Amino acid sequence: MACDDKVDCGRRRLIVATATAGGVAGVVAAIPFVASMLPSERAKSAGAPVEVDISKLAPGQMITVEWRGKPVWIINRTKEMLESLKKADDKVSDPNSEKPMQPEYCKNETRSIKPEIFVAVGICTHLGCSPTDKFKTGAESGIDADWPGGFLCPCHGSTFDLAGRVYKNKPAPDNLEVPAHKYLGDTKIVIGISQDSKGA
C-alpha cells in the first residue's frame, strides 16, 4: 500500500526503526531484549493510546489511524460539512446522541470536542463492515439525490451523516462509536484517553 499520509508513514518508520533495533540487540543479548519487548506488544494489543498529529489535516480531509486493531477516522469538517448536520437532524435515528455511543464530552450537536474535528471508529454498528466515505453531495449508487455527504456501509447499505449518526430505517441500530480522545495542544490528539483525564 502506498505510504500516502503522514500518520501511516510515521508509524511505518517507527516499525522499521523498532525492527532494526531488535535485529542489532538480538545479536548481543537475544533473550533479555525479546523479554523487554513483550510488555509493549501486550500494551499495544490491549489498547495503548495512539497519538496523532493533525497539523497537516486540511479542511475536508480525513485520515485513518489504527487503535485497538480498529480503524479510527479523524476528519477535518468544513463549514459546509458542519452545516449539513442540521439538515440531517430529522433523517437520523438518534439526532441528539441519546444512546451511549460517545463520551459525555462529545454528546453535542457535532459529536466532537472541537466542532470541525470529528473522531470516530470506522466500523458499522450493524455487522462490523467498514463504511466508505461519501463526502460528495448528491446522488450516487446507493444514496439519494439529496445526499448531504457522509458515509455508506457497502455491506447492507446503512448510511451515516458527517457526525456518524445513522439514518433512519437502515440496518445499523446505532450511531458510529466516538472513542475516548483528548487534545494535547491544538494539533495533537490522543486516541484512547479521555478529555476529562488529567494525564496524557
Looking at 8, 171, 188, 192, which residue binds ligand FES (CB under 6 A)? 171
- The partner residues of 188 in beta bridges, in order of sequence, read 53
The interface region with ligand FES, picked from 52-60, 119-127, 142-150, 182-190 by CB under 6 A, is 119-127
| Residues 56/4, Cβ–Cβ less than 8 Å | no
33 DSSP 8-state letter:
H
Q: Does 81 bind ligand FES (CB under 6 A)?
A: no
**Shortest approach of ligand FES to residue 123 CB, angstroms?**
9
The interface region with ligand FES, picked from 36-44, 88-96, 126-134, 173-181 by CB under 6 A, is 126-134
Looking at 54, 166, 172, 178, which residue binds ligand FES (CB under 6 A)? 172
Q: Does 124 bind ligand FES (CB under 6 A)?
A: yes
Per DSSP, the three-state class of 45 is helix
- When the beta carbons of 124 and 193 are compared against ligand FES, the nearer one is 124
Task: Report how far residue 33's alpha carbon sits from residue 48's, in angstroms, rounded to the nearest whole number.
Answer: 20
What is the dihedral sign for C-alpha 44, 124, 100, 121?
positive
Q: Does 123 bind ligand FES (CB under 6 A)?
A: no
Looking at 9, 16, 43, 127, which residue binds ligand FES (CB under 6 A)? 127
Looking at 102, 158, 179, 193, which residue binds ligand FES (CB under 6 A)? 158
Task: Report how far residue 63's alpha carbon sits from residue 192's, in angstroms, rounded to the nearest whole number.
Answer: 17
Number of Cβ within 10 Å of residue 35's Cβ equals 10
Q: Cell 486493531 identifies what position?
A: 69
Task: Report how far residue 193's alpha carbon sits from residue 175's, in angstroms, rounded to the nearest whole number.
Answer: 21
Residues that bind ligand FES (CB under 6 A): 124, 126-129, 153, 155-158, 171-172
